[in-house]
């Protein structure tokens, strides 16, 4: 699949549920209204959709949410998708999780072919963690991370840089990840969805400033490393660990975008930061063969835009999409 700007689409992110057992302040409102179950694709339909993308050249699948591991019988889908790893058509099957369910699922994930996971974790302070997630317990997450390590899963920690919240902890996060053998990626807060009283302008901390702060203590050497996503990586000389930066606002990564996002309702977003989308559920359910579905996918890719329109600054506020990140799939 080649988009209008010559980019090869090889990476599909799939939100298997919009539900989550946390309510992170930069992602969700505290009182969320979730999709009715009748609107959500079955696991069998998700398998068929993902498999169609694999046949069209997608070689990396990431399952997201919400929290993907709260989806009932999710291991059935992960086991099914693992067959594409065995054929060689899929290079990687992975997921992004908050780690709350990893004590239950880590071993099964490894057996299904998952080798690497991303874990969203913004603070090492239990009180701050509860404040950021509203409902989360840090000790449960730490137990999940230990289970992931024991199972043989490589872990990358994703931390959203939040001014006035975790800005005093970035050095601690680098040091902790170095000790644990985890990669670490800092992410700028993105203007996605209504989040209640929180003001994104106040949360927003440009990663150029984060990097400048980190340079006071750590030596960051640029490296030629990629996981297929948007992060740009450095090696922390003092710990040996990898440190990534995802900068959708200060330095977007649109020119090399190789991904599209599928929601749990079968809606395909060709860009995280644009509202244009394609309904794949109708084509999926219209026929038992994939001809109509494949046509719908190709038509959608032909509309993939050059880039997003995210804006956060003091003068213009936060120009945001109404979609919550949990709906779009991170």
Has 20 been labeled as part of a binding site? yes
Local structure of residue 285 (DSSP, 8 states): H
Has 264 been labeled as part of a binding site? no
Q: What's the rounded Cα separation, in Å, for the pair 186 and 161?
A: 6
Has 66 been labeled as part of a binding site? yes
Has 26 been labeled as part of a binding site? yes
Residue 160 phi, psi (nearest 5): -80, 130
As a whole number of Å, the CA-based R_g of the chain is 19
Has 111 been labeled as part of a binding site? no
Question: Which pairing describes strands 11-15 and 259-262: parallel, antiparallel, or unpaired?
Answer: parallel
Has 261 been labeled as part of a binding site? yes
Of the candidates 159, 174, 185, 173, the residue with the CA atom closest to the CA atom of residue 238: 174
Has 120 been labeled as part of a binding site? yes
Instruction: State whether the Cα torsion 225-9-121-187 is positive or negative.
Output: positive
Of the candidates 51, 47, 26, 148, the residue with the CA atom closest to the CA atom of residue 97: 148
Has 281 been labeled as part of a binding site? no
Whether the upstream peptide bond of residue 66 has omega within 30° of 0, thus cis, is: yes
**229, 239, 256, 280, 295 from 247: Cα distances, Å:** 12, 23, 13, 30, 33
Residue 70 phi, psi (nearest 5): -90, -5
CB 253 within 8 A of CB 244: no
Has 260 been labeled as part of a binding site? yes
- What contacts 146, CB < 8 A, 6 or more positions away? none
- What contacts 243, CB < 8 A, 6 or more positions away? 174, 183, 184, 185, 186, 214, 218, 220, 233, 234, 235, 236
Has 50 been labeled as part of a binding site? no
Write the burial class of residue 164 (CB in 10 Å: 0-12 exposed, 13-18 middle, 19+ buried): exposed
Has 177 been labeled as part of a binding site? no
Annotated binding site for GTP: 13, 62, 96, 156, 259-261
Annotated binding site for S-adenosyl-L-methionine: 26, 66, 120, 190
Annotated binding site: 13, 20, 24, 26-27, 62, 66, 96, 120, 156, 190, 254, 257, 259-261, 271
Annotated binding site for [4Fe-4S] cluster: 20, 24, 27, 254, 257, 271
């Amino acid at each position: 699949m080649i988009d209008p700007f010559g980019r090869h689409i090889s990476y599909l992110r799939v939100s298997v549920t919009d539900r989550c057992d946390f309510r992170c302040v930069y992602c969700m409102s505290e009182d969320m209204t979730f999709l009715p179950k009748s609107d959500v694709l079955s696991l069998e339909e998700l398998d068929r959709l993902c498999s169609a993308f694999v046949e069209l050249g997608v070689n990396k699948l990431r399952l997201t949410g919400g929290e993907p591991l709260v989806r009932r019988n999710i291991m059935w889908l992960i086991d099914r998708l693992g067959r594409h790893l065995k054929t060689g058509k899929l290079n990687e099957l992975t997921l992004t999780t908050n780690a709350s369910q990893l004590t239950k699922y880590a071993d099964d994930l490894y057996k299904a072919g998952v080798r690497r996971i991303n874990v969203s974790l913004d603070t090492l302070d239990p009180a701050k963690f509860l404040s950021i997630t509203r409902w989360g317990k840090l000790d449960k997450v730490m137990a999940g991370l230990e289970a992931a390590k024991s199972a043989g899963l490589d872990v990358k920690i994703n931390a959203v840089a939040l001014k006035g919240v975790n800005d005093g902890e970035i050095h601690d996060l680098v040091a902790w990840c170095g000790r644990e053998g985890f990669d670490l990626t800092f992410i700028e807060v993105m203007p996605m969805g209504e989040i209640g009283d929180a003001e994104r302008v106040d949360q927003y901390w440009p990663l150029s400033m984060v990097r400048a702060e980190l340079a006071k203590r750590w030596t960051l050497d640029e490296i030629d490393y990629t996981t297929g996503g948007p992060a740009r990586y450095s090696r922390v000389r003092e710990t040996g660990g990898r440190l990534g930066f995802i900068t959708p606002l200060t330095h977007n990564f649109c020119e090399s975008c190789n991904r599209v996002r599928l929601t749990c309702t079968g809606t395909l977003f060709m860009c995280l930061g644009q509202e244009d989308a394609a309904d794949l559920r109708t084509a999926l359910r219209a026929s038992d063969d994939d001809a109509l579905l494949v046509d719908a996918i190709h038509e959608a890719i032909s509309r993939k835009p050059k880039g997003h329109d995210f804006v956060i600054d003091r003068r213009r506020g936060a120009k945001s999409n109404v979609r919550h990140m949990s709906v779009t799939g991170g």
